[in-house]
Structure 1
Amino acid sequence: MKAYVFPGQGAQFTGMGKNLYDTSDLARNLFNQADAQLGFEISKIMFEGTADELKQTKVTQPAVFLHSVILAKTLENFKPDMVAGHSLGEISALVANGTLDFESGLNLVFKRAMAMQKACEMQPSTMAAILGLEDEIVEKICAEIDGVVVPANYNCPGQLVISGEVPSVELACEKLKEAGAKRALLLPVGGAFHSPLMKPAEDELAEAINQTKFNTPICPVYQNVTTTAVTDPEEIKKNLIAQLTAPVKWTQSVQNMVKDGAAEFIEVGPGNTLQGLIRKIDGTAVTSSATAT
């Protein structure tokens, strides 16, 4: 069975999607539609912008989404048996499996980005990558610290990202190093994604999600919150709302996809980060990058 997976924020690069725009009428039309819908030329920033321009809140998430979704739409014989996306990538996955149409997906991604930015500005917060410790030890130490610090991204065995208030995350990093972490490094991010500090963004996004039509998908999505196959549109909605304050359980999602028959993982979108994580989760997994024909 083929599993298509979609990357999240951080995978963006200058020139992303340009080859699609140059070689596919469908891609060109979708990029032009996105420029009109967002009210600015995101395609121009994707193709020619600097790293700093690509890091703007209003650009980063929609850019990764557009590259992933437009690439998926230009693939020949795109017939996924299952899909999953890392954080933001979950919305790309939901367009790819037909749960959302292109316009609705782009609208939700843009609203998500702006709501998260607002939540970040309300309170200084950060994230840190913890390498070389078992998940249970990270969970235990986070739970013992005052203030908000929680596991946010279960990326692969031995790689867990924590998220929360700046002093709590810094203290957790010290304690985790003492407990044997190979590395505990603060990440250059705008805030504490996938933590309780994103509650204002979750409330805002919930309103937009509840006003959006969700269809029955052509194949299951393995959602970050539940890690299991989901096809019910109402359940997908609920999990997508919860995702902003809940951890991304990528390790567990991939394990469940393998258990359910995934023999090949194809990453759709910029970069190849997910392929590396998947190979660390399951050494037997076959991975590749989707390429438009």
Structure 2
Amino acid sequence: MNTSILLMFPGQGSQRPGMAAHLVREHPRTAGRVLAEAQDVLGLPLTGLCTVGRAADLEPTQIAQPAILATSLAVLAVLREEAGFTCSVAAGHSLGEYAALVAADVLTSADALRLVRRRGELMATVARRVSGAMTAIIGLAPRLIEDICARSAPLGVVEIANYNERGQTVISGQRAAVARATELALAAGAERAVPLKVSAPFHCSLMREIEDEFAAELDRHPFAEPGALVLSSVSGEPVSGGAHARNLLRRQLVGPVRWVDVLDAAQAHGVDTYLEVGPGRALSGFANRTVPHATVRSTNDASRVGALLRDLRRPPAVSV
């Protein structure tokens, strides 16, 4: 494959029962090893959770986040070790940014896992104290949704959490305010409003109460200079260095995910192939609809991983 490939790492919501079963079965010496190492680092039964765990087992954010990260890192190891893949461009959707930083050698796998475990624990404390909700608004311009959030603010916090694609924007906040904003969005012409099955109101100012504590945790871990281009979902722009990466992860708690900007930046950097690395296919869907003429692939099952490995191992064509 002689292309510029963006590695896209998914975030929370991509977890599903058996999400790493095909990886452990087909690639025990790479993916199986990574999951076992992650299990040792965190003291969580991640191999079982990611292969035979039930949906309910994976639902708590303090479990879902390290499980998704471990699964993504397992796929990354398969690509690197079994196909000799070298990352040149990476991005992660919220939680996925930690995997992107591992792919670019900014964070070690162990440090990323520890940070994500603590991130999930702190977010869970907010979920226990706040009656929060998140809803995806389909088919309404983001600027209209921003106005609707402002009009709903008398009922509580409601803010844009995710600019996923031009036709899909996620709002987050206190339940009553989110419900009112949803009503107004539908009245304004939104095609659909889809409540998300999440345990906390992510990416809004309700997370500010844990920002200082998590910033202190970030300061306890080393961040190296990027060995590849990382497009941050916090800014939609390249990560300029290790200190910048650390600051972006702090800002990520309360700031929206700017995935539209990430995909626009990837196109500007000449990316022509978009590869989702980890469970789920949500990011593949965003890429297909945003960059319709690009090649988009995922690693959601054994057949897709197998086909990808065959293509990565194939020698590049030689022009004569």
Secondary structure of the 1:236 match is: helix
Q: Percent identity?
A: 34
The residue type paired with residue 271 of structure 1 is G
Aligned to 2:200: 191
TM-score (norm: length of structure 1):
0.96
Bigger shift: residues 246-255 or 78-87: 78-87
Task: Find 1:238's aligned residue among 243, 247, 252.
Answer: 247
Aligned to 2:316: none
Aligned to 1:69: 73
Pairing 1:177–2:186 present: yes
Alignment of 1:215-226 (within 5 A): 215-226=224-235
Give CA deviations for 1:39-63 in whole Å, capped at 9, x if unaligned. 2312112111111112133321111
Aligned to 1:16: 19
Pairing 1:97–2:104 present: yes
* Cα distance in 2, alignment partners of residues 62 and 152 from structure 1: 21
| Number of equivalences | 293
Q: CA deviation at 1:285?
A: 2.1
Q: CA deviation at 1:185?
A: 3.2
Task: Find 1:206's aligned residue among 212, 215, 219.
Answer: 215
Aligned to 1:6: 9
* Cα distance in 1, alignment partners of residues 197 and 44 from structure 2: 26
Give the ranges of 4+ consecutive aligned residues of structure 1 lying more than 3 Å apart after TM superposition: none
**Aligned CA distance change for structure 1 residues 254 and 178 (closer, same or farther; 3 Å):** same
* Cα distance in 2, alignment partners of residues 3 and 226 from structure 1: 17
Secondary structure of the 1:113 match is: helix
* Cα distance in 2, alignment partners of residues 168 and 250 from structure 1: 24
Q: CA deviation at 1:282?
A: 1.8
Pairing 1:144–2:151 present: yes
Q: CA deviation at 1:225?
A: 1.4
Bigger shift: residues 229-238 or 23-32: 23-32
Larger Rg: 2
Aligned to 2:302: none
Pairing 1:272–2:293 present: no
Pairing 1:43–2:47 present: yes
The residue type paired with residue 48 of structure 2 is K
Secondary structure of the 1:229 match is: coil
Q: CA deviation at 1:26?
A: 3.2
TM-score (norm: length of structure 2):
0.88
The residue type paired with residue 7 of structure 1 is P
Q: CA deviation at 1:25?
A: 1.7
Aligned to 2:87: 80
Give CA deviations for 1:253-277 in whole Å, capped at 9, x if unaligned. 1111111111111110011110111
Q: CA deviation at 1:211?
A: 1.0
Give CA deviations for 1:140-171 in whole Å, capped at 9, x if unaligned. 11122222111111111110000011111111
Q: CA deviation at 1:28?
A: 2.7
Contact 2:60 2:199 in 1 (8 A): no
Contact 2:46 2:67 in 1 (8 A): yes
* Cα distance in 1, alignment partners of residues 137 and 221 from structure 2: 36
Contact 1:173 1:185 in 2 (8 A): no
Mark the runs of 5 or more structure 1 residues left unpaired by the alignment: none
Task: Find 1:117's aligned residue among 113, 119, 124.
Answer: 124
Aligned to 2:293: 284
Contact 1:73 1:96 in 2 (8 A): no
